[in-house]
Structures are given as C-alpha cells and as structure tokens.
Amino acid sequence: MRRECLRRGYSERTIETYQDCIQRFLEFSGKSIDKIGKEDALNFLYYLREKEKSGSTINVYHMAIRFLLEDILRKNIRLNIKYSKRAEKLPLVLSKEEVKRLIESISNLKHRLMISLLYGAGLRASELLNLKVKDLEIDKNYGFVRQGKGNKDRLFIIPSSLKQELINLIENEGLNEEDYLFTSNRQEGYSIRSLQEIIKKAVRISKIEKQVHPHTLRHSFATHLVEQGNSISEVQSLLGHSSPETTQIYLHTSSKNLISVRSPLDNLQ
C-alpha cells in the first residue's frame, strides 16, 4: 500500500492515515488479509456508523478500504454504497479586528512575522513551514507554494507590509536560497505543533474567546477577501482549491455580504 501511494504521489499524511485505517479494519474483522471481502468491509463501515463517527471520518475509512481491496489486492469487489454526508458546518473565522489583536499580542518578532504571513497569504500551516528563500519573489509581491496539497504548485501574495520584515529576516540570519525561511534559534525547522502553541498563547493574551487554530487564519483570509469584493475565482486560485464549490463556503462566512442584503420585510413598510 505504501509503495502504491508513493507512486501515485500521495502525501505522507495521507499514507499514514490509510495505513491506520486498514490496521483498524483488519483488527475489527479478525481475519488475515487474504480472507477479507466485501461483507467484512460493509460490516466495518456500518459499525463505524453505529459508533456515531462523523461522515468525514467514515468517508476516509471507506476510501482506504476501497483502495486496499480494489487497487492493492486486485479483488473484483465494488463497494457500491454512498459516501456519508459531512455535517455542513461553516468554518470559524476571526474578524479583522480580532486578527489585528492576535498579531499585536505576539512579542517575538519572528513568531509575529510567521503568523502575519500565515494570515496575509492564506497559507496552510505546512505550506508556511516548508517555505524556502528561493520560493519568494519579494520585490514582485508574490511567492510560490511548492508541492502543496495534491502535490500542486501555486502562487501566493506577499503583503506589502511584510516585505521589509522578510528581507530583514533573510539578511540578519544569513539565509541562502535553499534554506528554510523559518527556523528556530537552534537552526531547526518549526513543527505544526509549535505553530499551534504560538497561536494558543496569542489567543490567551489577546483574550479572543474563540477556538483558534492555524487553519482559522486561512479561513479568515478567504472570508476577508470576499468581503473586499474579490471574486470566487480569485479566492479559489489563491487558496489552491480544485473546485469553486469548495471556495463558495466563504460567501456564507462573509458577514458583510449577508448583512448588506435588504430584508423583504423592510420593503413592506
């Protein structure tokens, strides 16, 4: 499974998730891998539903099991069942004022720059931490995410307000083209966990009463772009979404767009 996933260009995170799903499936079935079949797969998926697992979780198990049975074991089995529906929850976003408070509460200049770029460019946490100096075209106000989600490259905007800070960081730390942009004082790369801790501390200091994670800033970036009047296609391109449907959820999180709609009740008066 691992070799086939690597051949198809799946991310390390996806590979580990699939392996974990299959391990749990085999433990549940109690059978050796050459004995499992469609009935075992269906029983396991129904078991997950009885355990009230979320639709997205069941979908991941479904895809992993199909991958094992059909693509790895080459069994002539089709799991012709519908994927579980995901709960339609709107992503949590911060207001512009909350983003400002969050950033200003960070005293460490490098940490502040990291969070500012995370929001200002709409990057995923892994994309921020994997940035190298050579990926930036600071004088042209853009950079490149290399091998992002789905192994796709894409362009991102560099906020004008951060250009000089980025130049200073590169010069002060003597970074070369191949160096990672953000490293700790021990010249080690930051982990997603360390990024989460930076945000957690900033949330506490700024007294923001929301559950804020690195991805919250990406949601906020997209929502604020829509509120500024940018089109869905522009936001889709900057986020690296394959489908415009994925991006359209930010129309619903844009309070400015919704509040500006006039209620028909007001037209009766």
* pLDDT tens digit sequence for 164-190: 999 999 999 999 999 999 998 777 788
Work out the percent of the chain whose per-residue pLDDT is above 70. 87
Confidence at residue 138, expressed as pLDDT on a 0 to 100 scale: 94
Q: What global pTM score does this model have? A: 0.66
Q: Where in the chain is the domain with CATH 1.10.443.10?
A: 96-258
Q: What residues contact 75, with CB distance under 8 A and at least 6 apart?
A: 37, 69
201 is catalytic: no
At the second CATH level, the architecture of 2-72 is: Orthogonal Bundle (1.10)
> Where do the CATH 1.10.150.130 domains begin and end in the chain?
2-72
**Assigned token pair, 246:** 């994925």
Q: Which residues pair with 156 in a beta bridge?
A: 143
The active-site residue out of 124, 190, 219, 224 is 124
Amino acid, res. 166? L
Q: Can 62 be counted among the known catalytic residues?
A: no
Tokens 């075209």 found at: 137
Q: Is 24 a catalytic residue?
A: no
Axis crossing angle, helix 214-227 with helix 232-239, rounded to the nearest 10: 160
Distance, in Å, from the CA atom of 125 to the CA atom of 217, rounded to the nearest integer, reads 10
What are the distances in angstroms from CA 17 to CA 57, 85, 93, 182?
11, 20, 27, 27
Per-position b or e across 165-200, b if 16+ CB within 10 A of its CB = bbeebbeeeebeeeebbbeeeeeeebeeeebeebbe
149 catalytically annotated: yes
Q: What are phi and psi of 155, to 5 degrees?
A: -90, 145
Tens digit of each residue's pLDDT (9 = 90 or more) over 230-252: 888 888 888 888 777 677 777 76
pLDDT digits (tens, 9 = 90+) for 63-83: 899 899 888 888 877 766 665
Choose which CATH entry (1.10.10.10, 1.10.443.10, 3.40.50.2300, 2.70.150.10) describes domain 96-258. Answer: 1.10.443.10
